């Protein structure tokens, strides 16, 4: 069966309860603000009637303003968000690069987290043990690989997460911007590895604000606007459509 992404009449709602603050500070503040009118928080209709097919061999760029639904779209394709209605069918092994620092156990060492995160990615313990040395060397953490994650800087965590997440490719590659972390040397290594993943993937979906990157990697562009597909076509036309819809100059 050929690799493909098929979303038919897909809708996604975020429940309003997910946006209600419940911190101690907020509760105390509300207790002494009897006269302040409470705002009703409505459910968010994040994706609206999305109808898209992406076939094997396609390189698709996602464009849209912040909050347009690009990251949500990617997470729906990855199966991380359950859709409210419609159908989602994805054929092929999905590999996604976003929210890199999620899934770490702070009290466990970097080496232990290589195994834990690999399991979250659906990889076997045997495979993770076989690539452990290569991951540790790529992340370039030195002796810190045997220290608890909670002792790492944010940059060190991202480097380790990137090394783990890119240890193996997939048929369907989902990217939320081109990942950058660490010093110039690591950035160069990271970009080289991403290009290898892109070259080997059967399908690429890349969300980015960088027109140059989109033009160089993608032949098709999908413009999202307030959760709906506003344009779907050749990447150059998609860039023009994005600029027209959002009132910005093309570059």
Inside any domain, residue 177:
yes
| CATH code of the domain covering residue 26 | 3.40.50.300
Kindly state whether residues 227 and 145 are assigned to the same domain: no
Residues 197 and 212 in one domain: no
Closest CA to 52 of 249, 244, 230: 230
Q: Note whether residue 104 is domain-resident.
A: no
Phi (first) and psi of residue 3, to 5 degrees:
-70, 140
pLDDT grade, residue 249 (50/70/90)? confident
Tell me whether strands 4-14 and 44-55 are parallel, antiparallel or unpaired: antiparallel
Instruction: With a cut of 90, say whether residue 19 has pLDDT above it.
Output: no
| Angle between the N-to-C axes of helices 154-165 and 110-120, in degrees from 0 to 180, rounded to the nearest 10 | 50
Q: Could you tell me if 126 and 191 lie in one domain?
A: yes
Q: What is the pLDDT of residue 177?
A: 81
Q: In whole angstroms, what separates CA 148 from the centre of its chain?
A: 25
pLDDT, one tens digit per residue, over 82-96 is 999 999 999 999 998
Tell me the residue range of the domain where 130 lies: 110-201
Residues 80 and 118 occupy one common structural domain = no
For residue 182, name the pLDDT band (cuts at 50, 70, 90).
Answer: low
pTM of the shown model: 0.83
E strand or H helix at 220: strand 220-225
Distances (CA, A) of 58 to 30, 225, 232: 51, 22, 13
Q: Are residues 212 and 166 in the same domain?
A: no
Find out whether 30 and 175 touch, Cβ atoms under 8 Å. no
């Amino acid at each position: 069966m050929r690799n493909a992404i098929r979303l038919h009449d897909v809708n996604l709602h975020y429940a309003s309860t997910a946006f209600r603050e419940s911190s101690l500070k907020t509760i105390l503040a509300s207790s002494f603000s009897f006269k302040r009118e409470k705002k009703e928080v409505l459910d968010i209709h994040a994706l609206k009637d999305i109808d898209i097919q992406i076939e094997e061999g396609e390189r698709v760029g996602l464009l849209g303003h912040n909050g347009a639904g690009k990251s949500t779209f990617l997470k729906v394709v990855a199966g991380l968000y359950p859709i409210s209605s419609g159908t989602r069918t994805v054929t092929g092994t999905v590999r996604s690069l976003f929210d890199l620092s999620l899934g770490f156990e702070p009290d466990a060492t970097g080496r232990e987290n290589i195994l834990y995160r690999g399991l979250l990615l659906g990889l076997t313990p045997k495979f993770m043990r076989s690539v452990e040395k290569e991951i540790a060397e790529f992340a370039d953490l030195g002796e810190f690989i045997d220290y608890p994650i909670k002792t790492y800087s944010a940059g060190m965590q991202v480097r380790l997460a990137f090394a783990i997440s890119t240890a193996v490719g997939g048929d369907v590659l989902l990217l939320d911007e081109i990942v950058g972390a660490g010093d110039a040397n690591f950035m160069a290594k990271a970009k080289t590895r991403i290009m290898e993943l892109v070259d080997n993937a059967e399908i690429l979906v890349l969300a980015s604000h960088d027109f140059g990157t989109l033009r160089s990697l993608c032949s098709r562009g999908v413009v999202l606007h307030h959760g709906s597909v506003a344009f779907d076509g050749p990447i150059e036309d998609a860039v023009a459509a994005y600029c027209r819809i959002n009132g910005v100059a093309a570059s």
